[in-house]
């Protein structure tokens, strides 16, 4: 198991936007005129995203979960409600050791309005059944969760579906005219929308058996498969 002992790092993107780095995973705080939006919570082992949000704003805070892998929901128990796609709820309850009193649904096409800033929910299953992205059309930003990144993408285990994942990447490619930048949960920040096609090509090679297995650099029960500009644990 990787050692996670670094304190959370808060990095200001602009006056209303912050990213929180937590030992290799990234959360976000978006502050609107009426409330704040927290996207994911990290591991929750070396600091609290909820406490950080409270220091950044005195507005009410809403938590949205892009997906329920453990490194995204570790601090969810500090929030009254966690919002996620209904297809993710069963997976959430198998993964979360600290259950929220309330779990609320977000559907494809729902719009989260925090006052002066709006985020559209995009359902992108594959990495997990209920993975979502959040699209800020006005500011032309896509918050991608784990579906798109330059880091190695986890695609092993019962929650993953490579066929659905490829379909979701194609869905995002069709939406590329709506955003200029991607905020991923891992790896380089930010990244270009062109990375979606890079990941899709590598995923197609993975599905076709065209990528040779490699020993992973971290202890995971999977092999690593590296394409041109994108890689997977599978």
Each residue's pLDDT tens digit, 94-141: 887 667 778 999 999 999 999 999 999 999 999 999 999 999 999 999
Would you place residue 1 in the very low, low, confident or very high pLDDT band (cuts 50, 70, 90)? very low
- H/E stretch holding 162 reads helix 162-174
- Total of domains in the chain: 1
Tell whether pTM > 0.85: yes
pLDDT for position 159: 93
Residue 42 lies in a domain: yes
Residue 198 lies in a domain: yes
Each residue's pLDDT tens digit, 126-185: 999 999 999 999 999 999 999 999 999 999 999 999 999 999 999 999 999 999 999 999
Each residue's pLDDT tens digit, 17-61: 999 999 999 999 999 999 999 999 999 888 899 999 999 999 999
Residue 1 lies in a domain: no
Answer whether 157's CB lies under 8 Å from 197's CB. Answer: no
**Is pLDDT above 70 for 202?**
yes
Three-class DSSP category at 191: strand
Each residue's pLDDT tens digit, 63-89: 999 999 999 999 999 999 999 999 999
The closest alpha carbon to 26, from 140, 181, 126, 149, belongs to 149
CA 144/CA 183 separation, integer angstroms: 6
Answer whether 124's CB lies under 8 Å from 182's CB. Answer: no
Answer whether 216's CB lies under 8 Å from 223's CB. Answer: yes
Identify the domain containing residue 79 by its residue range.
9-233
Which one is predicted more confidently, 6 or 226?
226
Q: Alpha carbon 106 to chain centroid distance? A: 15
Residue 186 belongs to a domain with what CATH number?
3.60.15.10
Measured CA to CA in angstroms, residue 122 lies from 35, 100, 112, 151, 171 at distances of 21, 23, 11, 21, 9
pLDDT for position 2: 52
- H/E stretch holding 219 reads none
Quote the strand ranges of 81-189, DSSP E. 81-84, 102-105, 111-113, 118-123, 132-136, 141-145, 153-154, 181-184
Helices (H) and strands (E) in the chain, counts: 5, 16
Quote the strand ranges of the chain, DSSP E. 9-14, 17-22, 25-31, 36-39, 61-64, 81-84, 102-105, 111-113, 118-123, 132-136, 141-145, 153-154, 181-184, 213-214, 224-226, 231-233
């Amino acid at each position: 198991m990787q050692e996670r002992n670094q304190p959370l790092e808060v990095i200001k993107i602009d006056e209303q936007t912050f990213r929180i780095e937590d030992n290799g995973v990234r959360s976000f705080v978006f502050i609107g005129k009426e409330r704040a939006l927290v996207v994911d919570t990290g591991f929750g082992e070396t600091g609290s995203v909820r406490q950080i949000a409270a220091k950044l704003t005195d507005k009410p805070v809403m938590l949205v979960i892009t997906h329920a892998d453990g490194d995204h929901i570790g601090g969810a128990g500090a929030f009254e409600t966690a919002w996620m796609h209904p297809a993710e709820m069963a997976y959430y309850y198998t993964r979360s050791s600290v259950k929220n009193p309330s779990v609320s649904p977000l559907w494809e096409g729902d719009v989260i309005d925090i006052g002066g800033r709006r985020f559209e929910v995009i359902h992108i299953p594959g990495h997990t059944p209920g993975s979502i992205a959040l699209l800020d059309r006005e500011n032309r930003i896509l918050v991608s969760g784990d579906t798109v990144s330059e880091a190695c993408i986890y695609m092993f285990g019962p929650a993953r579906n490579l066929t659905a994942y490829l379909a979701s990447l194609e869905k995002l490619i069709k939406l590329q005219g709506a955003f200029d930048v991607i905020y991923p949960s891992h790896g380089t920040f930010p990244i270009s929308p062109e990375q979606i096609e890079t990941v899709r090509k590598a995923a197609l090679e993975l599905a076709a058996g065209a990528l040779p297995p490699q020993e992973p650099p971290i202890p995971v029960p999977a092999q690593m498969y590296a394409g041109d500009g994108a890689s997977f644990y599978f």
